[in-house]
Amino acid sequence: MDVFLTLMGVLSRGIPGIFVAGIVMVLMLLGLVRKEAGLMVVAGFLIIPFAVTFGGWAGFPIVVRLLPLLVFASALAISKDEPLFAWILPAVPFFYLIYAIFRLILSDARGL
């Protein structure tokens, strides 16, 4: 379990965190524009390090823990041909990743 948590911390902080967040954002946009649920599922799995590292079980961090579920729900909406839900559900994870990228850049890519 310690190796898993260390890997999640490495993938969500510093330069790897900026890279992973950028990849997730690109995959979400491509999945929405091309209407491919597979790209959204991959983005959902790649956003898990941010949810594990920065999420919590009380207060605002619970929203961060739910980010992968929103992305997976968007993939389900894409597969069911519901474009309104497909575009609305990943908005919170997308804006959170923008916030995380700015925080990583402002901290000189050392972590949040």
Contacts of 64 (CB under 8 A, 6+ apart): 50, 51, 54, 55, 56, 96
Domain holding 93, by residue range, is: 2-106
Q: What is the pLDDT of residues 15-33, one digit of tens each?
A: 888 999 999 999 999 999 9
d(CA 21, CA 103): 12
Whether the predicted pLDDT of 5 surpasses 90: no
Domain assignment present for residue 111? The answer is no
pLDDT band of 14, cuts 50, 70, 90: confident
Q: What is the pLDDT of residues 33-71, one digit of tens each?
A: 999 999 999 999 999 998 888 887 777 888 889 999 999
- The answer to whether residue 112 sits within a structural domain is no
Report how far residue 2's alpha carbon sits from residue 51's, in angstroms, rounded to the nearest whole number: 16
Express each pLDDT in 80-97 by its tens digit: 999 999 999 999 999 999
Beta strands in 1-112 (DSSP E): none
Note whether residue 52 is domain-resident. yes
